[in-house]
Amino acid sequence: MSKRPIARASAEPHADRPLHAPGGSMRHGTSLGRARGLRQRAGTKEEPGMRSSTKRTGITLAAAMTVLAMQGTAASAAPDRSGIDQLPSTITLTGTVRDFKDRNAAGGHPDFQRQPSSGFGHYVGMVADRLDEDGKPVFASTGYKLTGNWRNASGQPIMPPRDYIASRDGDRSGSIDQRKVGALTNAENFRQWFRDTRGVNVAIPLELTLVKQPGSAVYVFDDKLDNYFAGLGGFFPINGEGYGNYANTGKNFHFTFELQTEFTYHADQGLSFKFTGDDDVWVFIDGHLVIDIGGVHSAVSQTIELDRLEWLEDGQDYTLSFFFAERHTTQSNFRIETTLELRSVELPPTAGLYD
């Protein structure tokens, strides 16, 4: 199948203040070769009439920090940019999309195309702080509505405090209305979001490529800057596939996306990960929640600065697990900005297509 153009995002200052976490287990495995094999087993060729196929998208995650070196005498000293210049220009990661039917369709899922009972908005506390033994998010509550963002000294939104994430001077408190709940239905339904479930979802491999920004160690994927997705008007990787598009929108609005990656931690280099988009997004580093964007809402952002995760050891490898859900019309926004040089790990097992 044809490869979609890689996003050529414009450079943009990245400010991030993330969360931290201790402990956790690594998940290892294959990447693109496995994805291609899965496509073949699922019978997903790009032919007219087929409703499922693997997508090559423009997402590339990776990062490393600028290395400054002094050369010659003080009078002729200048930054050595070789470290940045030697970084890969793109990073391609392979994950899994799971398509769902909306709640009003026969066999539809109750959490898709559903307005939260306390209204649209950003909810936190929907998932537990640790992944389960399968590396999946665990239902914790139906969510609590965020009424004011916690922010770092630069004003960037960060996750509400956790004991495994170090605070910093200049951090500002936000607020939560614990009376406003209901961003999803229950634990049983949530368990299906990121697991193959017969008669409920369709699994489709998806490649994302992040693009290194000129003169920096920042990697970006942005649906608004990617040639393919910009033409679609948003992050819609499976239009016309799986269970098909929603109503007469011409777009598939009801899916989740799971991405398992790893990276090497380098202390004191300002490594960070930032997501901006909608709807639900949870990011776990070393099995610990560091970005908590639940609910059905327009695009919002959170950042995690990895130096706040004080249990991370310099030079060691750790996992970054990413979970995304698009659950409601009328938008789908997706932007990753990171200085981590991410690598794909094992593609989550999928059980193929179910109708």
Determine, yes or no, domain membership for 25.
no
Residues in CB range of 189: below 8 A, 6 or more apart: 109, 110, 111
Is-contact 274 116, C-beta < 8 A? no
Burial class (CB in 10 A: 0-12, 13-18, 19+), 224: middle
Show the DSSP H helices in the chain as ranges.
32-42, 82-85, 187-191, 227-232
pLDDT band for position 74 (cuts 50, 70, 90): very low
Determine, yes or no, domain membership for 204.
yes
Determine, yes or no, domain membership for 135.
yes
Q: Given the DSSP bridges, would you call strands 255-264 and 288-293 parallel, antiparallel or unpaired?
A: unpaired
Is-contact 328 114, C-beta < 8 A? yes
Determine, yes or no, domain membership for 14.
no
Cβ neighbours of 322 (radius 10 Å)? 22
State residue 179's pLDDT score.
96
Q: Which one, of 56, 52, 31, 49, lies nearest residue 41 by Cα?
A: 52
Q: Which domain holds residue 325?
A: 32-67+80-344
Show the DSSP H helices in 173-214 as ranges.
187-191
pLDDT band for position 22 (cuts 50, 70, 90): very low
Determine, yes or no, domain membership for 21.
no
Rounded to whole angstroms, how far apart are CA atoms 226 and 8? Answer: 6
Provide mean pLDDT across the span 63-71: 35
Rg of the chain taking only CA atoms, in angstroms:
20
Q: Which one, of 279, 330, 337, lies nearest residue 303 by Cα?
A: 337
Q: Tell whether the model's pLDDT for residue 8 goes beyond 80.
A: no
Determine, yes or no, domain membership for 26.
no
Rounded to whole angstroms, how far apart are CA atoms 12 and 6? Answer: 17
CA angle 78, 269, 15 (to 5 degrees): 100
Task: Provide the edge-to-edge strand list for the sheet that holds 144-148.
Answer: 123-124, 144-148, 175-177
State residue 62's pLDDT score.
37
Q: Tell whether the model's pLDDT for residue 183 goes beyond 60.
A: yes
State residue 254's pLDDT score.
94
Q: Which two tokens stand for residue 326?
A: 């698009």
> By mean pLDDT, which of 16-30, 53-67, 160-174, 221-235 is the weakest?
16-30
pLDDT band for position 350 (cuts 50, 70, 90): low
Mean pLDDT of the chain: 80
DSSP for residue 76: G
Q: What is the pLDDT of residues 237-265, one digit of tens each?
A: 999 898 988 888 889 999 999 999 999 99
Rounded to 5 degrees, φ, ψ at 284 are -120, 130
pLDDT top residue among 64 and 105 = 105
Tally of structural domains, the chain: 1
Q: What is the pLDDT of residues 46-62, one digit of tens each?
A: 333 333 344 444 443 33
Q: Tell whether the model's pLDDT for residue 24 goes beyond 80.
A: no
**Amino acid, res. 228:** Y
Q: Which one, of 335, 271, 348, lies nearest residue 18 by Cα?
A: 271
Q: Per 3-state DSSP, what percentage of the chain is helix, strand, and coil (rounded to 5)?
A: 10, 30, 65
Q: What is the pLDDT of residues 191-201, one digit of tens each?
A: 999 999 999 99
Q: Tell whether the model's pLDDT for residue 349 goes beyond 80.
A: no
- Residue 303, classed as helix, strand or coil, is strand
Q: Which one, of 141, 127, 124, lies nearest residue 293 by Cα?
A: 124
Determine, yes or no, domain membership for 256.
yes
Find the largest Cα–Cα distance for the chain.
74
Is-contact 335 316, C-beta < 8 A? no
Whole-number percent of the chain with pLDDT over 90: 63
State residue 311's pLDDT score.
97
**Amino acid, res. 303:** T
pLDDT band for position 106 (cuts 50, 70, 90): confident
Is-contact 263 342, C-beta < 8 A? yes
- Residue 179, classed as helix, strand or coil, is coil
